[in-house]
Amino acid sequence: MAYRPGDNLLRIVECKSYLDSRGVRFKAFDGEGRGGKRFKLFNEPETFSVVSTRLVEQLYAEKAVLAAPNIQLCLAAGKIAPRESERLRMLFEERHWTLFEPAWIHDQLVAMSRDGYDNSVCSITAKLLCRDLC
């Protein structure tokens, strides 16, 4: 999850690498068949409602978010199946979800690797990954 207090936005992010497979597929979001049940927060409105409600209650009780945050469901995909990116983009836009595609993830890692010194695991990992590649 990620929270931005300026506009009271809480992003619930599911991360899938799928690096050793075909990648995230469009049919995983149609709610049908075997693959259509994999992403429960995306495919099961009742599950999303319960999870997001409880998450907000917990975060608010801990004073980690403001009251009634705007919730945005996101998917960070390390790999998307060939020829399915455009269909996924359109579906996510239609349903007001956010799709973080492999190219976006790469660009963010490169940008983080170029930042100044920061003693955080994320920053150091980005610098290690990109030092010979970027």
Which residue stretches of the chain have pLDDT < 70?
Answer: 31, 33, 134
The whole domain housing 129 covers: 103-134
For position 62, what pLDDT does the model report? 98
Residue 129 pLDDT: 86
In tens, the pLDDT along 63-102 reads: 999 999 999 999 999 999 999 999 999 999 999 999 999 9
The domain tally of the chain equals 2
Residues 6+ apart with CB under 8 A from 124: 118
Alpha helices in the chain (DSSP H): 40-43, 45-61, 85-94, 102-114, 121-130
Opening angle at CA 111, ends 108 and 117, nearest 5: 125
Residues 43, 90, single domain; the answer is yes
Q: Is residue 51 located within the same domain as residue 71? A: yes
- CA-CA distance, 42 to 68, in Å (whole number)? 21
